[in-house]
Structure 1
Amino acid sequence: MKADRDLRPVLITGGAGFIGANLADRLASAGHRVLLYDALARPGVERNVDWLRARHRGQIDLRIVDIREEAPLSAAVGQAKAVFHFAAQVAVTTSLSDPIDDFETNAAGTLRLLEAVRRHAPETPLIFASTNKVYGDLADLELALTPGGYRPLDRRIAENGVAEQRPLDFHSPYGCSKGAADQYVLDYARSYGLRTAVMRMSCIYGQRQMGNEDQGWVAHFLIRALRGEPITLYGDGHQVRDILDVSDAVDAYLAAWAHIDRIAGQALNLGGGPRNAVSLRTLIAHIGRLIGSEVELRQAPWRKGDQHWFVADSRAARAALGLAEPRAWREGVADLAAWLTDEHAEVSAQVAAQ
C-alpha cells in the first residue's frame, strides 16, 4: 500500500519481531512512516531494528515500551493512522510456566490497546495477529498416518483445511489468552463500531526469523541443521502444518488494511493451505538435502496441546483480500536457509571482532 498524504505513522506493536519487521520494511519502502512499539524482550530483535533503520533512514521510529503500559500506548495510538498488533507472549511452553504473565501480555495488553483505539482514535483500523491455536488440538478429527504425515479421513477437510466456521476450543494458557484477545478484537467491532479485524495465523516462516524450540520452528530446524546440531522432535515427527512465507503474510496484512471496511468484525485464517502442508519429518529431510548432509534427530514425548495436524483453509482470506496463491514451501525454505547462512556468518564475524 503506497503512502498517501496522511503523514501520521503506522503503529506496529511487536514491530521489532519477525513479522513486524518484515511488515515495517514493506511499509517504509512504500513511503510510510513506521512507529515500532516493542519491549525488545526477544533476544536478537535489536538486529531487526538496526536493519530497518539502515534501510529506511528517517522513516523508522522506535519506542521501547511494554504493551501493558497504558499511557505510552494511548499516546502512540493517538498519532497512528493504522495499527498492526503483533506484540505478544508467543510460546505455549512459556504460558504453562507463567500463565499470569501470558494473560497480562496477550489478553489484557490487547484489551488496553483496543481501549486506546476506542478512546483516542476510533476511526483508526486495527488488525490483530491471532493464532490457529484458537481451534484447539483438533483431537476430534479422525486421522490416518500416511507417508507424508497425518491426514484427516474427512476428505473435505483434508483437501481444504480448517475453516473459520470451526468451533473455537482454547487449549493451554496461551490458547486462552490469544483466544480471548481474538474475541475482544471482534467484539469491539460489534459493540463499538471499531474498524478491527483478526488474522488467525498458521505457521509463518521466512527471513528475519530467529526461531527457537518454542516458536518459529522452521527457522529453528534450519539453524540447528546449519550448525550441525541435532533436532529434537516432540512426538513422532509426523505432525503436519501448513507453512506460509512471510512475504505472503505481509501481502495479507497490507490487503487487510486496504479492505478494512469490507472485513471489519471478521476473523480470517492465514496459512499456506493444503499446497504448503508438510510434516516435520518431510521438512527435515528437505533441509538435509539443502545443506548436503543428514540431520541428526532426537525423540521426546508429545507436548501438551500439540496438534497432530493443522492446515488452514485460507480461501475466505484470498477471496476477501484478493490474495494470490502462496509461495511454494520448498522455494521459501531454500531462501530462508540462504539468509540464515549469511546472517549467522555476519553475527559470528561481529562476535569474533569484539
Structure 2
Amino acid sequence: MEGKTLVTGGAGFVGCNLVKNLLEDGRDVVVLDALLRPGSERNAAWLQTLNAGSRLTFMKADVRDFAAVKSCMAGAEEVYHLAGQVAVTSSLDDPRTDFDINALGTFNVLEAARRMKTPPKVVFTSTNKVYGGLEHVAVEQTGSRYRFVDRPLGVSEAEPLDFHSPYGCSKGAADQYVRDYARIYDLPTVVFRMSCIYGPRQFGNEDQGWVAHFIISALSGRPIHIYGDGMQVRDVLFVEDLVRAFRLATEKIEVSRGQVFNIGGGPENTISVWREFGEMLSTLRGAPVEADFSDWRPGDQPCYVSDIRKAEQVLGWRPQVDRDTGIRRLWDWAERYLAQNGLPTDQTQVEPGRIALSA
C-alpha cells in the first residue's frame, strides 16, 4: 500500500503500536513527537529496530508549533492525531500547558489539514473524561465491583458532555473542534472517545496507563497505591484492537467522517481495578501482590464502561483480544522487557531534528 501517513505522538504507547501496524501495511510514516512523556524516548528508539529504512521519518517537534505541524503534514493522506497531555493531575498543576498542548495543538492539526489542497483524513483520540464524573448515573455495588444500574451496555455517544478538570476541558474543546471542522469545512475527521487502553510498549503510572503500571510494579516489587476501595470498574481494550478501529475508520471514511465513537473493551471486557485485577496479578506472579489504599480522588468514576455498539454497526469492529488474554500478553511482554532492560528509565536519547528511523 502506498501513501504517506502522519502520526502525532507516534512515540507514545498507542502511537508506536499504530506506527508499527502502518509500516507493516507498506505505508510511509512521519512521526511528530516532542518526546515529553516518560517512555517516549524508549519507544522512539524501539521504532529504529523495525528496519523500515526511509519509510519511517521522525521529527522531534511539538504540536504547539504550527509551522512544524504544517511541514510534517505536507503530502499526507492520513493524519492520526494522538499527541496530547494525558494526565488529569498535570492539568491541575499547569492548566495553561495542558490547554496549549491539547486544545491549541489540535487546532493546529486541523488548520494545517484544512489548508491543504486535498485535506487528509484526520483521526483524533479523545477521552471518556468528556462525560465528566457521571454523578447522575446510578451505580450499585455487587460483590467485588461497582456496576451501572440502568446502563447494562455502558455509556453511549448520546451521553451529555460534562467537562471536568482542565484536562477534561482541553480534550473536550479539541473533541468538539474536530467534530465541527467536519461540519463546517467538510474535513474528513473521526473522533474516538477512549476508555482504558493497555498493551505492549506501555510504561504507565498512577495517573495514566494503570494496567501496565500495576503489572510492572507487581513484577518489580514496587509498591502499588490504590485510590478509593479498589472496586472501581473500567472496560479495558488491548491496543491492537484500538489500532484496528483506527484503520477501519480511515478505510471506511465515507461512513465514519464526522462521527464520534466511544471505544473500549465494552461490557464483555471489564475489571475492577484492584479487587479483581489484584487477584489476577497474584495468580500471574505466583505470590501475593499487596497494595495500600487512600481516599478517593475528586471526580473518580466508580464505574465506566463504553457502549461500543456504534463502532460495531458503522465500522464492523469488535474487540478480538479478550481481557484475560490481553492482560497475560502484557504481563509476558513486561516480564521480558524487565529481564532484558531492568526497570524503565528515561535516559534513552533521540537526537533532535529530522532523522530517519532505521536500524
- TM-score over 0.5 for the alignment? yes
Q: Which residue of 2 aligns with 1:344?
A: 338
Amino acid at match of 2:71: A
1:194-238 CA-to-partner distances (Å, cap 9, x unmatched) read 000101100000001011111100000001111112211101111
Q: How far off its partner does 1:290 sit?
A: 0.5
Corresponding position of 1:151 = 147
Question: Identity, % of aligned pairs?
Answer: 48
1:107 corresponds in structure 2 to 103
- Confirm whether residue 27 of structure 1 aligns to residue 22 of structure 2: yes
Q: How does 1:39-118 map to 2 (within 5 A)?
A: 39-58=34-53, 59-118=55-114
Partner in structure 2 of residue 36 of structure 1 = 31
Question: In 2, distance between residues paired with 1:213 and 1:344?
Answer: 19
The secondary structure found in structure 2 opposite 1:233 is: strand
Q: Which has the higher helix share?
A: 1
Q: Distance in 1 between matches of 2:220 and 2:284?
A: 13
1:169 to 156, 162, 169: 162
Q: Which amino acid aligns with 2:229?
A: D
Find 2:307's aligned residue among 310, 313, 321.
Answer: 313
- Counterpart secondary structure, 1:160: coil
CA distance in 2, matches of 1:210, 1:232: 16
Aligned-partner Cα distance in 2 for 1:122–1:134: 31
Q: Compute the displacement of 1:297 (Å).
A: 0.9
Residue 303 of structure 1 deviates from its aligned partner by: 1.2
Secondary structure of 2:333 counterpart: helix
For structure 2, the 5+ residue unaligned runs are 349-359
Q: Which amino acid aligns with 1:195?
A: P
> Could you list the per-position Cα deviations for residues 154-206 of structure 1 after superposition, in whole angstroms to 9, with x for gaps in the alignment?
1xx1x210000000000011000000000000000001010001011000000
CA contact (8 A) 2:23 2:52 kept: no
Cα distance in 2 for partners of 1:54, 1:327 equals 26
Corresponding residue for residue 217 of structure 2 = 224
Q: CA deviation at 1:306?
A: 1.0
Asked if the contact 2:195/2:236 (under 8 Å) is kept, the reply is yes
The RMSD of aligned alpha carbons is: 1.5
Q: TM-score, normalised by structure 1?
A: 0.94
2:9 is aligned with 1:14: yes
Q: Write the letter of the residue equivalent to 1:269.
A: N
Letter in 2 for 1:308: P
Aligned residue in 2 for 1:138: 134
| Residue range with higher mean Cα deviation, 38-47 or 334-343 | 38-47
Distance apart, 1:115 and its partner CA: 0.6
For residue 104 of structure 1, what is the amino acid of its counterpart?
D
Match of 2:246 among 232, 249, 253: 253
Q: Is the 1:211–1:219 contact (alpha carbons within 8 Å) kept by the matching residues of 2? A: yes
CA contact (8 A) 1:28 1:56 kept: no
Aligned residues: 344
Q: Distance in 2 between matches of 1:350 and 1:305?
A: 30
The equivalent of 1:296 in structure 2 is 290
In the TM superposition, residue 57 of structure 1 has moved relative to its aligned partner by 2.6
Structure 1 residue runs of 4+, over 6 Å off? Answer: none
How far residue 350 of structure 1 moved from its aligned partner, in angstroms, is 11
Higher relative contact order (CA 8 A, sep 6+): 2
Unaligned runs of 5+ in 1: none
State the distance in 2 between where 1:214 and 1:296 align.
19
